[in-house]
Amino acid sequence: MEIVSLKKALLVAFIVTFIGGCSTTDTENESSVSGGGAGANEGTSTTTVAIDPNDNISSRSISEAEQARLEAQAREAEAMARLEAMGRIVYFEFDKSTLLPEARAILNAHAERLKSTGGRIVLEGHADERGTREYNLALGERRAQSVQSYLAIQGVPRSRLETVSYGEEKPLEYGPGEARWSKNRRVEIRY
Amino acid sequence: MIGIALFQGNLIHQIARRVTALNVRVLLSLLLWFGNISSSYAGLMIEITQGVDNPVSVAVVPFAWQGYGLLKEDVAAIIAADLERSGQFKALPREDMLAHPHKQADVHFSEWRTDYLLVGQVKPGTGNGQYEIKVELFDVFNRKRLAHEVMLSGIGQLRRAAHHISDLVYEKLTGYKGVFSTRLLYVSVMKGEKEPYRLNLSDVDGHGEMSVFRSAEPIMSPVWAPNGEEIAYVSFETKRPAIYRHTLATGKREKLTGFPGLNSSPAWSPDGQSMAMVLSKDGNPEVYVMNLKNKRLRRITNHFSIDTEPSWMPDGKSIIFTSSRGGKPQIYQVNLASNWIERLTFEGEYNARSRVLPDGKGIVFVHRRDGVYHIATQEVNSGELRVLTETELDESPSVAPNGSILMYATQVRGGQGILGAVSLDGKVKYRLPSGKGDVREPAWSPYFQ
């Protein structure tokens, strides 16, 4: 029963993250995450901007630079797709902040990517609506810190892992019932 | 705004005892359905779901208007609705009134069968843009005038004047100060809108709703300063939580904290000089007290568990807070002079977000029982716990300044967040469903000067 619902939750997480694509770093609003492939392009466009200055000072022809840029973009897209397949959300049990076994595989994939690419990520902790709001804010932070510690143990510097808790203020699904609550007890990994 | 020119008569303690004596049995059935008396803002409405067994009857006769045109507000109707909302009074329907007296000379006690009678008149005041309101309260059985008031009201302040009269009548008849002139601060969420998170202010009857602050990101934990002029809250407007202090009259905002991690649960000290809050900048959620003049922080708790939701004892000498140091969240009290910590709640597996009653003799908090969240109250000395609500997912209790009633957040079927109220003796219950959106985290104002 529990395993089935967890599998379901992971499946939904996968669908949510896949459809949602990678949100840009400057927006954490759920409603703004939309439009399938557009999201993934937005995610990689951040990297494109970073190598643009090299284009300007490079002696290579525009077409060569462009080709390199496209290749990098493709590699990045592939890496992101692998991550999306794993998921960007890990789930927790009620009133708990300890990682579930399912979370480790997901976090390992993110740890690998982070070690190879650099950059900062935000670990966004959430809680379900049961219990008081301020206590849930603290619980959401605990969950984000669990993920932070795990990633740090995998070799990602803590300085690159920021945590923020929204408590029960930003549910993925509104309304009562364990099916919804289980999706809201989560940490979202945001690049 | 409202000035009392004359006051006559003493508190009738005999009547106070009588009202209390009537509140014997808990009435479980629905007593009264109160229709749509919402404002044009389509804000909160009132539904009385439970009142006392034998409410005191009062006739509030329509007030005479001695000016030109029509009066904007039906002052008598507002007073009648206020008194009924307290659950302790039943107002006589107008169609059952045999006469409409406006002053003592016109009152014939034989025409009235209610316990009390309130009559009044409104006329243009001598000052520009003012009304003069005269009211008289009578004890019908003893054929005696209990009070006589003359007050001045600004033209746009008639509703406020009516609530003020309700406060006076309530105090005269029960011995307890009325809270009809106080206000409510709460968070409202309008899903799908550009700035869905709102911090709203309204009268306690739900009228006059207005947004004090709007944001695309969550707003949490609104609280009042003891002077009623300032509020504080947590806003995520920068995508990170921060505590803001906000002056209502000017709209001026000041960011008090924006530390890494939690910036949560502001709570003004009773003297208004400091603020308790929760910060996790040192790695763990702990209670701190900030001196609001020099912004200096003093760390109060030091434990690896979650410490949060501070609330001050009225003497300002100790703070009660939620801690999971015993494994599950429970309420603890910390003495600010000695840092001595004592556990207050033992019944149940989850007790959190406590608030202290104005007299300091009791606390209210969220209490989980059989997986369901209720509002409960506990006497500080005896430790006796009583559950006050029977709905699920009840949270965020906030006590009225007279200590008689509290407002809390709950959900109706379908998950819409609404506000509910319950008297501390559990006998009176009403709800304030919102016309639109989810409403939560009520904060009942102090008395205004």
The span from the CA of B311 to the CA of A38, in Å, is 47
User: Is A175 in contact with B415 (Cβ distance < 8 A)?
Assistant: yes
Which residues make Cβ contacts (< 8 Å) with residue B394, sequence separation at least 6?
B366, B373, B374, B375, B408, B409, B410, B420
Q: Which residue of B has its CA nearest to A173?
A: B415
Please answer whether residues B276 and B287 qualify as being in contact, where contact means their C-beta atoms are separated by less than 8 angstroms: yes
Same-domain status, B158 and B202: no
Query: What is the three-class DSSP state of B79?
Result: helix
The H or E element containing residue B150 is strand B144-154
Residue A162 in 3-state DSSP?
strand
Domains and CATH numbers, chain A: 2-190 (3.30.1330.60)
Same domain? B201 vs B295: yes
Is B38 a member of any domain?
no
B74 and B108 housed in the same domain: yes
- Residue-number span of the structural domain to which B164 is assigned: 3-12+20-26+55-174
Q: Cα(B249)–Cα(B149) distance, rounded to whole angstroms? A: 29
CA distance B125 to B241: 49
User: Are the C-beta atoms of B223 and A133 separated by less than 8 Å?
Assistant: no
Q: Which residues of A touch B261 (CB under 8 A)?
A: 141, 163
**Of A66, A84, A62, A183, residue with least CA distance to A127:** A183
In a domain, B42, yes or no: no
Q: Within a 10 A sphere around the Cβ of B410, how many other Cβ atoms?
A: 22
Q: Is residue B386 part of a domain?
A: yes
* Backbone Cα Rg of chain B: 23
Please give chain B's pLDDT, 449 residues, in tens.
Answer: 333 333 323 333 333 333 333 332 222 222 222 222 333 344 677 777 787 878 999 999 999 999 888 888 999 999 999 999 888 999 999 999 999 999 999 999 999 999 999 999 999 988 778 999 999 999 999 999 999 999 999 888 999 999 999 999 999 999 999 999 999 999 999 999 999 999 999 999 999 999 999 999 999 999 999 999 999 999 999 999 999 999 999 999 999 999 999 999 999 999 999 999 999 999 899 999 999 999 999 999 999 999 999 999 999 999 999 999 999 999 999 999 999 999 999 999 999 999 999 999 999 999 998 889 999 999 999 999 999 998 889 999 999 999 999 999 999 877 889 999 999 999 999 998 777 889 999 999 999 97
Residue B84 · residue B142 · CB < 8 Å = no
Nearest-angstrom CA–CA distance, B423 and B368 = 20
The DSSP output letter for B94 is: G
| Nearest Cα residue to B341 out of B354, B329, B350, B331 | B331
Tokens of B52: 């006392």
Report which DSSP code applies to A28: -
Q: Are residues B169 and B275 in the same domain?
A: no
For the beta sheet containing B242-247, the strands, ordered from the edge strand earlier in sequence to the opposite edge, are B219-224, B230-235, B242-247, B253-257
Domain C-terminal end among B139, B154, B174 = B174
> With contact defined as beta carbons under 8 Å apart, do B250 and B241 qualify?
no
Chain A contact present for B301, CB below 8 A: no
Structure-derived torsion over alpha carbons of residues B432, B435, B437, B438, reported in degrees to the nearest 10 = 10
In a shared domain, residues B408 and B322: yes
Same-domain status, B75 and B222: no
**CATH number, residue B126:** 3.40.50.10070
Distance CA B285, CA B303 (A): 9
- B122 and B104 share one domain: yes
The answer to whether residue B293 sits within a structural domain is yes
Q: Which residues of A touch B (CB under 8 A)?
A: 28-29, 31, 129-135, 137-139, 141-142, 162-167, 169-170, 174-176
Those residues with Cβ within 8 angstroms of residue B350's Cβ, 6 or more apart along the chain or in another chain: A131, B328, B329, B366, B367, B368, B373
Q: Who among A29, A132, A141 is closest to B262 (CB)? A: A141
Q: Tokens 């009520």 label which residue?
A: B442
Contact map slice: B 160-199 vs A, CB within 8 A: 191-192
Residue of chain B minimizing CA distance to A176: B415
Calculate how close chain A gets to B387, using CA atoms only, in Å: 16
Could you count the other beta carbons within 10 Å of the beta carbon of residue B201? Answer: 19
Q: For an interface test with B, give the residue of A23, A120, A130, A137 to mutate (most B CBs within 10 A).
A: A137
Whether B221 has its CB under 8 Å from any CB of chain A: the answer is yes
**Tokens standing for A118?**
């650099």
Mark whether B115 and B148 lie in a shared domain.
yes
**Do B169 and B189 sit in the same domain of this protein?**
no
Does B267 lie at the interface with A, CB-CB under 8 angstroms?
no
What value of ipTM does the predicted structure carry?
Answer: 0.86
| Residue B191 in domain | yes
What is the C-alpha separation between A10 and B59, in angstroms, rounded?
A: 63
Residues of B in contact with A137 (CB under 8 A): 220, 241, 262, 264, 308
Give the closest-approach CA distance of B167 to chain A in angstroms: 33
B225 and A CB contact within 8 Å: no
Structural domains counted in chain B: 2
Q: Is residue B420 part of a domain?
A: yes
Q: Do B156 and B204 belong together in one domain?
A: no
Contacts of B309 in chain A (CB under 8 A): 132, 134-135
Residue B43 forms part of a structural domain? no
Residues of chain B contacting residue A138, judged by C-beta atoms under 8 Å apart = 262, 264, 278, 280, 285, 306, 308
pLDDT at A8: 52
Is there a contact between A29 and B322 if contact means CB atoms under 8 Å apart?
Answer: no
Residue of A nearest to B352 (CA): A132
CB contacts, 8 Å: A141 with chain B = 261-262, 280, 285
User: Do B95 and B197 fall into the same domain?
Assistant: no
Of B156, B174, B192, which marks where a domain is finished?
Answer: B174
CA distance A2 to A5: 5
Instruction: Say yes or no: B348 and B223 in one domain.
Output: yes
Residue B49 lies in a domain: no
Domain boundary at B174, B204, B233, which?
Answer: B174
Q: Which amino acid is at A108?
A: N
